[in-house]
Amino acid sequence: MALVLKSCQKGLLISLVSVVPFCVSAACILPLKTQKPENFVLQISFLPNSLSLSLERMAFPGESAVVGVGKFLCTTIYSKITIFFKFQPNTDSLRAKMKELSDSKQNIEGYLESTGKQGKVAILTVKDWIPKVNNIEGQWDSMEEDIKASQKHFCGCFPNCYLRYKLSKSSMEKIQEVKELMDTRANFPEELAVPNPQPESVQEMPGPSIVDQKAASELLDRLKELVLNDEIRKIGIWGMGGVGKTTLVSNLNNIMADGSLAHPFDIIILVTVSSILDLHGIQLQIASRLKIKEVLENERKESWAALLFQGLKKQKKFLLILDDVWEKIDLDKVGIPQSLLGCKIVLTTRSLDVCYQMKTDKNIQVNTLNDEAGWKLFSEHVGELPDVEEIKSLAREVAKECKGLPLAIKVVDFSIEENELIRCWRAEGLIDESLNIEESLESGVDLIEKLKHSCLLEPGQGKGTVKMHDIVRDVAIWIASSSEDGNKFFVQSNMSWSKITKEGMHESINRASFVGGGLSEIPTFLETCSSLSTLFLQKNPLNKIPKDIFLSLKALRVLNLSGTKIKSLPKEVGELNNLRVLQLSEMRELQRIEAQTISRLSRLEVLDMYQSSYGWGVKGEVDEESVTLEELLHLEYLYYLRIMVSSTGYFPLDSTWLKRLKSFHFYMAPSKYRTTWLERVDERMVDLSGDVEHLAKCAEGMLNIATCLSISDCSVNRIGEVAKSVPNLKELILFQIEGSDNIWEGMVKSGGRSSFPKLQKIRVLACNGLKSLIPHDLLEQLHNLEEIQVYYCSNMKEIFGAKVVDENTSEIVATCSAVDSNALPHLRVLNLYNLPELRYICQEAFSWPSLEIVYVRRCPNLRRLPFSAGNAKKIRGIWGREEWWNELEWEDEETRLNLQKHFKRRK
């Protein structure tokens, strides 16, 4: 072949005149000026397995550029022609190496098949290697067809040169891949398979026993007979929700687990199905019990049924319990053998029709309990009832209202704060928005009371909380999800992400809940829900928010991201200009909120960042791209605020602005590492942590209207200077204060004026410097004190310091000024916990006119209570360990007998 380069005055003309069939011709003009035309000839000589190139030229101006072009063309053409002419050796080499690789794979698969019969499974490296070999084998099969096609000649004369070049190049690449796979094979250990961990025959399941329940025990006996009957393959257990079907099969499982029932099964598998049918989820539960879950997850889902089929066949005899089946399950699609002798299936369902569809051989109906059985179960779960006939009569009526449903008798949901519920109702417009905050809260309280009276809500576990019965909740969700008035709900809370589905999500959905669903990202199908007004995403492992997700959710009024792992809030959140409630509590990884995000939420009423790690600062203390406290001044509708403040300077929110807030909690913690939030209260709370005196001066206006003050993580000798600047103080919390015992110095006011005229509650936790809680001269000024809690104070020796006691001898060495016996006239609750040095509650004779409850736990040196036959007449409960009670010293036997009936033993 000859490559002719001709120079001319206009440039360099390169013509490729091909003498080989696959080269046609090519020409280009290079903008290179030459003085006169010259000719350059590139000679290419072809040999059987090689070629040579030479360039003959004549000297002329600009020759270096032409030589460079020639060299480039030589290199490129040489490479491509070499690949083309090595087509046959390259494909032959690949064919040989592929045979070697395939033979090696077949040997390994044969080895694994034989060891599999011995209960062994391939090691992980082998499991990863075989699919890679299968993949390259598939590619080679396709190449073989192309190689055959390349043998056909163009017009009967010339081979398909481009295809040969492409196949030759691909062969070179595949040879390298095969080499890498063979190198991996060479490094396999000697043992390619290891013993497969054998699944347990039965796994005990948590749940209540029914041994003492006659009706349920009879059903269990009947179920045992059917399960052990060789002629029965499928058993259906049906009955209404909450009647005890799951309890029945759990007990069947557990008596097999503990050996109470001899059975012929190699394995017993209990699977929870639930209302949303998820075949892959069922398969994974079965695979987990068979110890082959990892095998399934490494294979295509289309092959899962076959793998499960083989896994169950190896067990020879199995019992499969399918709990809570709502519709027909295609057992073949799951991979469950149905024709093997000794293999049985038990299913529970709310519908007899499902039993028919699943072609069960025998069906057992689970009925509600009769009144006496229901009362017995109710009593077991309520505990000991007071010996008052009216209460017992009412309890029997409550048990009757459960209509014999064990679930109705036993189940509780989780509690929710009443005020949180009311705030969401107000935000959604369910409470008249024209009402002011106080009126809204009152209206909400009235509504909650009506729901309680209708048995749709019940009191929760803590003060000011409510809960909803599980069955009531199910019905409420069903009604809300199928509403015809356009107010549809979508609830998939407390479900694993694998079960969460967008089925049912559409533009008309108003409220959606994904609480605790294991979401690692916000579902994209939410973008279509432009009518969404409430979105609950709390308690999910979300770590970021897509910037555009909220641009289509302009109708959103309530957004809850609490308990997620989000680190930054983008400014696009500020586009939600209809948002009323923003819940960001317990976001311990939240480090950034972009500037102008919060201030644009013009309708925001609630901002809750309780126990979140983001520290709010002022302008100049944080970078310009982060939100600052000044942005809060733009929120004219805000009435509920919980934030951590990291500022150490002037507090920009003055008392005039703060008075508009119905409730706030400012956790003043300049060091972000100090994040010991105390419990949330619906008051105006200030929590000072660290340099308390300095922070109190910075937040003087805030303290002036606060009703709750917490002082923590500090070392101070006197808290009086701080506390006295809170004139409306109702609750005082002292936490981890390591100062001296005389922290109240200077707090007593003369002339009978009280230092704390409104103080109702004192809580002291882990203050190891305190030896006495309240000094004698302060007692008479605490007229409104109702509750005292003292926990974990290792050096606390007495609660009320009315007398001075020698630490070594416990002898009274001095008597302070007499204390009025009517001191603390409104004290109702005294709670003492883990005070190892406590010896006295007080030494003076108080009348305790309002004292009702006393808790004493882990106070081993408290040997005497300050009560007598003539005082503390309203006491209705003293809680403590029985050993402690029996060792107490009494002023007289009459007092002990009077109080004995009020003692409540704690285990």
| pLDDT tens digits for range 698-719 | 888 888 899 999 888 776 666 7
Residue 843 and residue 803 in contact, taking contact as beta carbons nearer than 8 Å: yes
Helix (H, G, I), strand (E, B) or coil at 509: strand
Question: Which residue type, as a one-letter code, is found at position 674?
Answer: R
Rounded CA separation 668/688 (Å): 5
- How far, rounded to the nearest angstrom, does the alpha carbon of residue 502 sit from its chain's CA centroid? 20
512-545 in b/e form (b: 16+ CB < 10 A) is: bbbbbbebeebbeebbebebbbbbbbbbbebeeb
Low-confidence spans in the chain with pLDDT less than 50: 1-38, 40, 42, 44, 46-53, 55, 57-60, 65-66, 69, 154, 156-157, 386, 409-412, 673, 805, 807, 812-818
C-beta neighbour count of 635 within 10 angstroms: 21
Q: Which has the closest alpha carbon to 582: 438, 564, 652?
A: 564
318-328 in b/e form (b: 16+ CB < 10 A) is: bbbbbbbbeee
Helix (H, G, I), strand (E, B) or coil at 490: strand
The overall average pLDDT reported for the chain is 78
DSSP secondary structure letters along 215-275 = HHHHHHHHHHHHHT-TT--EEEEE-STTSSHHHHHHHHHHHHHTTSS----SEEEEEEEES
Rounded CA separation 635/607 (Å): 10
DSSP secondary structure letters along 142-167 = HHHHHHHHHTSEETTTEE-HHHHHHH
What kind and span of H or E run contains 71?
A: helix 63-85
Q: Which residues contact 23 (CB under 8 A, 6 or more apart)?
A: 1, 16
Question: Which residue type, as a one-letter code, is found at position 763?
Answer: R
Tokens 């009025």 belong to 820
Rounded CA separation 495/489 (Å): 16
Rounded (5°) CA angle 777-782-783: 125
What pLDDT is stored for residue 816 in this prediction? 44
Rounded CA separation 441/881 (Å): 41
Q: Which has the closest alpha carbon to 584: 618, 538, 518?
A: 538
Q: Tens digits of per-residue pLDDT, 79-128?
A: 667 777 778 888 888 889 899 999 998 988 888 887 776 667 777 788 78
| C-alpha dihedral, 564 to 566 to 570 to 574, nearest 10° | 20
Question: Which residue type, as a one-letter code, is found at position 596?
Answer: Q
Q: Tens digits of per-residue pLDDT, 399-447?
A: 665 555 555 544 447 678 888 899 999 998 888 878 888 898 899 999 8
Rounded CA separation 642/631 (Å): 15
Residue 839 and residue 817 in contact, taking contact as beta carbons nearer than 8 Å: no
Burial level of 197, CB count in 10 A (0-12/13-18/19+)?
exposed
What pLDDT is stored for residue 3 in this prediction? 42
Rounded CA separation 548/531 (Å): 16
For residue 762, the cross-strand partners are: 732, 788
What distance, in Å, lies between the first and last C-alpha atoms of the chain? Answer: 102
Tokens 């805000």 belong to 638
Helix (H, G, I), strand (E, B) or coil at 439: helix
**Pairing verdict, β 772-775 and 798-801:** parallel
For residue 513, the cross-strand partners are: 491, 536
What pLDDT is stored for residue 377 in this prediction? 63
Residue 293 and residue 287 in contact, taking contact as beta carbons nearer than 8 Å: yes
Q: Tens digits of per-residue pLDDT, 321-344?
A: 999 998 999 999 999 888 777 789
Helix (H, G, I), strand (E, B) or coil at 760: coil
Q: Which has the closest alpha carbon to 246: 268, 220, 285?
A: 220
Q: Which residues contact 65 (CB under 8 A, 6 or more apart)?
A: 12, 30, 32
Q: Which residues contact 388 (CB under 8 A, 6 or more apart)?
A: none
What pLDDT is stored for residue 25 in this prediction? 31
Task: Dump strand ranges (E) for 718-806.
Answer: 731-737, 761-765, 772-775, 787-791, 798-801, 803-805
Token pair in block for residue 226: 């059917």
Rounded CA separation 86/169 (Å): 9
Residue 66 and residue 7 in contact, taking contact as beta carbons nearer than 8 Å: yes
What size, in residues, is the chain?
907
What pLDDT is stored for residue 602 in this prediction? 93
What kind and span of H or E run contains 65?
A: helix 63-85
Q: Which has the closest alpha carbon to 635: 680, 590, 602?
A: 602
What pLDDT is stored for residue 28 in this prediction? 33
Question: Which residue type, as a one-letter code, is found at position 395?
Answer: A
DSSP secondary structure letters along 78-134 = HHHHHHHHTHHHHHHHHHHHHHHHHHHHHHHHHHHHHHHTTTEEE-HHHHHHHHHHH
What pLDDT is stored for residue 461 in this prediction? 72
CA distances from 489 to 672, 731, 823 (A): 39, 40, 55
Task: Dump strand ranges (E) for 314-469.
Answer: 318-325, 344-349, 362-365, 416-417, 458-459, 465-467
Token pair in block for residue 220: 């269990």
DSSP secondary structure letters along 657-718 = HHTT-SEEEEEE-SSTT---PPPP-SSEEEEEESSHHHHHHHTHHHHHH-SEEEEEEE--S-
Residue 634 and residue 609 in contact, taking contact as beta carbons nearer than 8 Å: no
**Pairing verdict, β 362-365 and 488-491:** unpaired
Token pair in block for residue 524: 């994209």
- Give the chain's radius of gyration (CA, Å): 41
Q: Which residues contact 718 (CB under 8 A, 6 or more apart)?
A: 739, 742, 743, 744, 745, 746
Write phi, then psi, for 314 (nearest 5 degrees). Answer: -65, -25
What pLDDT is stored for residue 907 in this prediction? 54
CA distances from 386 to 381, 390, 463 (A): 14, 10, 21
Rounded CA separation 247/220 (Å): 10
CA distances from 653 to 580, 724, 778 (A): 21, 21, 33
Task: Dump strand ranges (E) for 792-901.
Answer: 798-801, 803-805, 812-815, 829-833, 853-857, 877-880
Rounded CA separation 856/250 (Å): 40
